[in-house]
């Protein structure tokens, strides 16, 4: 069965069972700061599960574009990928375990024709109901059902969650003897579908509360289902990947020289990363050194390293037309954005080549100073951190010269770097991200002055009762006219005054939804917890910010008007004195 037929069969089946078919959302999550990229079919529906929004219907079905970088190091084996398509059916209070299991069994065995004897469900050890349902609905005896502690699912650190029941397919003896292997372990049993029984919400403090209306979220990986239904040895041999692999293999002059299965692994990695990069760029992600832009840059660099190892003539960019041939009909944004996708990839490849040639000079110096056949962790880390030289490249080049790198040493330094970055983020919020802040009513859209009361005084995140002249503190008011830093615009400044005292408001931030923190310096008197104050926004500062804010919107609109939809805003800084506006555009700009 071709992948297009699998998509259609799945969506039609659930439509016939009363589900509304909805199109895939973009890979960049809307209104969800907890995730860099959409990682599952349910992500666009989180608010429906939580009862914060009403779904257009209480049953939905979709084929959602998804990306997971968690398994990036596994990519190259037979079944892992980064970008994938997830088929799902969703219930928001409409049905629960019994119906979800019955639908899944019917679709797999009747529509997709799978042999029930090759299906192996797993359940959470606490979920006896599902064991009974699998037996009753599908006739699968309890001894074929694994009880796995890891059968619990949630997308991201907070949000809807619940125990799940995974369905594994026995690929047969070609994939393992079956001795000592079982669902969740080894390659023989492939997870093809996950049925999540959403009944709780995970909160920021790690606790869970029950959902008002338990629901169902399921996720079937299209690539894996295609592998099963097309009788392939790997997802890379299905119609979703084979043309992309063939494109690279046809241009890879050094493929045959690779030792062992290295050539095949490089080809799979290239195919996955190039395909994923195309989908990310088509949805507006551009390479950068942070966030999702960094995910993309890393994919392209890893793919370039594989392309170099295989001697792929023309590099990555020519594969765009092949990826469009495979996925362009299903995802029109890929077809219509193909030219831009290609330009972004070409530009990034050129940049990477420059990085590599600069890094090579330093690599030779590092190699010369390697002692005892090992490059010190600090030297390899410096190549990576200062010159952007990927560790894989250092490792490949070093091993070609009979030298190793101290990988553990590098990992230690990478960990320190990550921890430093985390610490600096925390300090910049003066500890307020960790403290539970009382909510503030914001009245600053139409008022530049307001009366309020000090609800909380903090210094470096620690509550205190009072602060005297000269001290700098964080102040949370019950009512505030101060606009918080956000969207690149600096926070409001101004003053707090009371009886015999005053404080300057130096900055305003919103480290948690609904909370607002004024960073203040007390000028005279004593500021106390519970103090009634008059809060006044610095009008000139606010007007300057507002003007520069408008200027960035005008510039953005003008760029879109002049250059078209390919212009992507990358960031902006708006202050009272000036505004900066970063954007990406895959071509050089001409003089106006």
User: In the complex, which residues of this chain contact ligand GLY (CB under 6 A)?
Assistant: 40, 42, 153, 194, 196, 217, 219
Could you tell me the two tokens for 562?
């002049």
- Which residues touch 56 (CB under 8 Å, ≥6 apart)? 20, 22
Query: What is the smallest separation between the CB atom of 66 and ligand GLY, expressed in angstroms?
Result: 8
Q: Are 219 and 88 in contact (CB under 8 A)?
A: yes
CB of 185 to ligand GLY, least distance (A): 18
Q: Which is nearer to ligand GLY, 218 or 238 (CB)?
A: 218
Residue number with CB closer to ligand GLY (216 or 344): 216
Among candidates 189, 214, 204, 234, which has minimal Cα distance to 50?
A: 214
Contact status, residue 248 vs residue 307, Cβ threshold 8 Å: yes
Cβ nearer to ligand GLY, comparing 38 with 559: 38
Nearer to ligand GLY, 153 or 389 (CB): 153
CA dihedral 161, 167, 173, 177 (to 10 degrees): 50
At 239, is the secondary structure helix, strand, or coil? coil
Task: Give the CB-nearest residue to ligand GLY.
Answer: 219
Token digits of residue 275 = 């395909």
Pairing of strands 501-509, 517-524: antiparallel
**49 vs 363, beta carbon nearer ligand GLY:** 49
Cβ at position 4, least distance to ligand GLY in Å: 22
Where do runs of H (alpha helix) occur along 157-221? none
**167 - beta bridge partners?**
121, 193
Count of alpha carbons within 13 angstroms of residue 543, beta-carbon side? 3
Minimum distance, C-beta of residue 217 to ligand GLY, in the bound complex (Å): 5
Min CB(476)–ligand GLY separation in Å: 37
Q: Which CB, 3 or 194, lies closer to ligand GLY?
A: 194
Compute the least distance from the CB of residue 40 to ligand GLY, in Å: 4
| Cβ nearer to ligand GLY, comparing 184 with 488 | 184
| Cβ 295 to ligand GLY shortest distance, Å | 18
Dihedral angle of Cα 268, 269, 274, 275, to the nearest 10 degrees: 50
Q: Of 115 and 150, which has the nearer Cβ to ligand GLY?
A: 150
Measured CA to CA, the distance from residue 590 to residue 592 in angstroms comes to: 6
Place of tokens 């390919």: 566
Least CB distance to ligand GLY at residue 155 (A): 6
DSSP string, 302-314: HHHHHHHHHTBTT
Alpha-carbon distance values, 254 to 242, 264, 271 (Å): 19, 12, 16
- Write down the least CB distance from residue 275 to ligand GLY, Å: 19
The residue among 231, 227, 266 whose CA lies nearest residue 245 is 266
Distance, first Cα to last Cα, the chain? 53
Q: How far is the CB of 227 from ligand GLY (least distance, A)?
A: 17
Nearest-approach distance from CB 153 to ligand GLY, in angstroms: 5
CB of 231 to ligand GLY, least distance (A): 24
Relative to beta strand 494-498, strand 501-509 is: antiparallel
The encoded tokens of residue 307 equal: 């392309």
Smallest gap, in angstroms, from Cβ of residue 134 to ligand GLY? Answer: 18
Is 164 strand, coil or helix? strand
Q: Please say which residue, 146 or 572, places its beta carbon nearer to ligand GLY.
A: 146
Residue closer to ligand GLY, measured from CB, 218 or 304: 218
Cβ-based neighbours of 346, under 8 Å, separated by 6 or more = 317
Q: Which residue carries 């390697």 as its tokens?
A: 370
**Whole-number minimum distance, CB 151 to ligand GLY, in Å?**
10
**Structure letter (DSSP) for residue 150:** T
Contacts 24+ apart (CB under 8 A), 169-173: 169/114, 169/118, 169/119, 169/120, 169/228, 170/118, 170/119, 170/120, 171/228, 172/118
Phi/psi for 590 (5° steps) reads: -90, 165
Nearer to ligand GLY, 153 or 168 (CB): 153
**Cα diameter, the chain:** 84
CA distance 433 to 95: 38
Q: Cα–Cα distance between 80 and 305 in angstroms, integer?
A: 19
Q: Which is nearer to ligand GLY, 127 or 217 (CB)?
A: 217
Q: Residues with Cβ < 8 Å from 472, sequence gap 6 or more?
A: 459, 506, 519, 520, 521, 522
CB of 479 to ligand GLY, least distance (A): 41
Residues 6+ apart with CB under 8 A from 420: none
Block residue for tokens 């005008």: 554
User: Nearer Cβ to ligand GLY, position 165 or 245?
Assistant: 165
Closer to ligand GLY by Cβ: residue 101 or 307:
101
Of 70 and 179, CB closest to ligand GLY: 70
């Amino acid at each position: 069965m071709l992948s297009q037929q699998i998509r259609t069969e799945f969506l039609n089946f659930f439509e016939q069972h009363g589900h509304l078919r909805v199109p895939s959302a973009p890979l960049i999550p809307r209104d969800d700061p907890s995730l860099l990229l959409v990682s599952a079919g349910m992500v666009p529906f989180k608010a429906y599960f939580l009862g914060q929004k009403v779904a257009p219907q209480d049953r939905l079905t979709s084929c959602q574009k998804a990306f997971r970088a968690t398994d990036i190091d596994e990519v190259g084996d037979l079944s892992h990928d980064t970008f994938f398509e997830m088929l799902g059916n969703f219930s928001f209070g409409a049905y629960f375990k019994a119906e979800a299991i019955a639908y899944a069994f019917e679709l797999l065995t009747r529509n997709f024709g799978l042999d029930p004897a090759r299906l192996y469900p797993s359940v959470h050890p606490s979920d006896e109901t599902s064991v009974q349902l699998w037996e009753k609905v599908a006739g699968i005896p309890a001894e074929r059902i694994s009880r796995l502690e890891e059968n619990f699912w949630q997308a991201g650190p907070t949000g809807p969650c619940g125990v799940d029941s995974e369905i594994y397919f026995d690929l047969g003896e070609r994939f393992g003897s079956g001795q000592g292997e079982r669902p969740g372990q080894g390659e023989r049993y492939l997870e093809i579908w996950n049925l999540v029984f959403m009944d709780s919400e995970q909160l920021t403090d790690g606790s869970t509360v029950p959902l008002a209306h338990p629901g169902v979220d399921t996720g079937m990986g299209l690539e894996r289902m295609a592998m099963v239904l097309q009788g392939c040895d790997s997802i890379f041999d299905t119609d979703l990947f084979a043309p992309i692999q063939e494109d690279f293999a046809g241009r890879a002059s050094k493929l045959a020289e690779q030792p062992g299965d290295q050539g095949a692994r490089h080809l799979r990695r290239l195919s996955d990363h190039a395909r994923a990069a195309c989908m990310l760029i088509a949805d507006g992600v551009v390479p950068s050194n942070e966030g999702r832009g960094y995910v993309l840059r890393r994919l392209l660099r890893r793919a370039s390293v594989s392309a170099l190892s295989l001697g792929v003539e023309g590099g990555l960019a020519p594969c765009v037309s092949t990826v469009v041939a495979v996925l362009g009909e299903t995802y029109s944004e890929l077809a219509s954005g193909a030219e831009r996708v290609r330009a972004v990839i070409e530009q990034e490849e050129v940049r990477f080549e420059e990085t590599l040639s600069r890094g090579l000079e330093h690599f030779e110096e590092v190699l010369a100073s390697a002692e005892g056949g090992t490059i010190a962790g600090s030297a390899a880390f410096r190549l990576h951190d200062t010159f952007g030289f990927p560790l894989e490249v250092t490792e490949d080049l070093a091993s070609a010269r009979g030298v190793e790198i101290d990988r553990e040493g590098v990992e230690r330094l990478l960990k320190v770097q990550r921890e430093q970055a985390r610490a600096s983020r925390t300090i910049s919020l003066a500890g307020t991200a960790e403290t539970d802040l009382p909510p503030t009513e914001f009245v600053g859209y139409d008022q530049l002055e307001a009366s309020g009361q000090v609800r909380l005084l903090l210094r470096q995140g620690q509550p205190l009762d009072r602060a005297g002249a000269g001290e700098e503190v964080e102040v949370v008011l019950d009512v505030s006219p101060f606009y918080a830093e956000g969207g690149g615009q600096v926070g409001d400044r101004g003053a707090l005054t009371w009886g015999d005292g005053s404080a300057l408001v130096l900055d305003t931030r919103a480290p948690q939804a609904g909370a607002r923190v004024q960073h203040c310096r007390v000028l005279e008197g004593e500021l106390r917890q519970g103090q009634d104050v008059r809060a006044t926004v610095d009008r000139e500062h606010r007007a300057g910010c507002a003007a520069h804010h408008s200027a960035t919107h005008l510039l953005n609109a003008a760029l879109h008007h002049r250059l078209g939809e390919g212009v992507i805003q990358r960031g902006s800084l708006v202050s009272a004195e000036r505004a900066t506006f970063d954007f990406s555009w895959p071509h050089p700009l001409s003089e106006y």
